[in-house]
């Protein structure tokens, strides 16, 4: 199979699943197998979508949420990668910090939202911190695992050429752990979206989460579903963006 043909098949399969899901949903709603008052047919959401696009509320809330996600994502991912590479390279640091990292990672991140709000207030900084904390330990643990999985021969060769700790960091640990790092980043992006939407339910005046919650409060069901679908599209597009960055960063990992 040629590369071009495979890419065409990949593109077709990428769009096939959501199209099939929407078709099933449309059929069930039209035949009233599910209550169309609470599960409106996707085709009935077109006018509602056009309305909230015209009044600017959709793009405004999406832009706000995306800004919070990206700011918090960078705030959490960059130090997580740095610390994860350090822990992977130096076993005493890993042994010292790993129990703490594993314990905090197990705590549901939405459970610490009240604590963050107490510490940082209800402004934008708190939302950045919540997103950063939601992904930090996930990226950290994946990075550590990626460094540990690097074959010891690569480290031995680097040391034989006189590589110091900083050189080992950049030439061995980072390139070798990149596949695991991007796995952590993709998973973290999903967590970031879930956490920011949940946070906007209770501690925000805007954002796509607030849009969904306000629509629910007044039983604007169609608006609520538009918000939910847009949230799913945001997650999909953000994941696609990370996949593109990964292909550019480590092209040798996508040669098959």
Residue spans per domain, the chain? 1-39, 55-254
Is residue 188 within 8 A of residue 139, CB to CB? The reply is yes
What is the DSSP secondary structure assignment for residue 43, as one 8-state letter?
G
Q: What is the pLDDT of residue 86?
A: 92
Which two three-digit tokens encode residue 32?
A: 């009233």
pTM for this entry: 0.85
- Each residue's pLDDT tens digit, 189-226: 988 999 999 899 888 889 999 999 999 999 899 999 99
CATH of domain 55-254: 1.10.3720.10
**Residue 225 Cα distances to 28, 201, 218, 231, angstroms:** 16, 15, 13, 10
Per-residue confidence band for 139, with pLDDT thresholds at 50, 70 and 90: very high
Per-residue confidence band for 130, with pLDDT thresholds at 50, 70 and 90: very high
Does residue 177 carry a pLDDT above 70?
yes
- Tokens 């330990």 correspond to 137
For residues 38-65, average pLDDT:
93
List, in order, residues 6 or more apart from 167 with CB less than 8 Å away: 158
């Amino acid at each position: 199979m040629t590369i071009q043909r495979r890419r065409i098949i990949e593109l077709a399969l990428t769009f096939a699943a959501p199209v099939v899901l929407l078709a099933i949903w449309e059929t069930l709603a039209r035949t009233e197998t599910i209550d169309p008052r609470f599960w409106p047919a996707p085709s009935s959401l077109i006018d509602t979508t056009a309305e909230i696009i015209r009044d600017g509320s959709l793009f405004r809330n999406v832009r706000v949420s995306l800004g919070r996600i990206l700011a918090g994502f960078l705030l959490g991912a960059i130090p997580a990668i740095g610390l994860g590479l350090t822990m992977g390279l130096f076993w005493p640091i890993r042994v010292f910090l790993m129990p703490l990292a594993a314990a905090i990672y197990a705590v549901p991140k939405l459970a610490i939202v009240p604590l963050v709000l107490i510490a940082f207030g209800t402004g934008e900084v708190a939302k950045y911190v919540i997103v950063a904390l939601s992904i930090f330990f996930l990226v950290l643990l994946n990075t550590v695992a990626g460094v540990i999985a690097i074959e010891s021969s690569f480290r031995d060769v680097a040391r034989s050429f006189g590589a110091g700790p900083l050189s080992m960091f950049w030439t061995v640990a980072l390139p070798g752990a990149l596949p695991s790092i991007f796995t952590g980043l993709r998973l973290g992006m999903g967590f970031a979206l879930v956490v920011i939407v949940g946070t906007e339910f209770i501690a925000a005046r805007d954002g796509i989460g607030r849009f969904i919650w306000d629509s629910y409060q007044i039983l604007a069901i169609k608006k609520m579903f538009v918000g939910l679908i847009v949230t799913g599209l945001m997650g999909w597009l953000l994941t696609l963006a990370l996949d593109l960055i990964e292909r550019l960063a480590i092209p040798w990992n996508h040669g098959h």
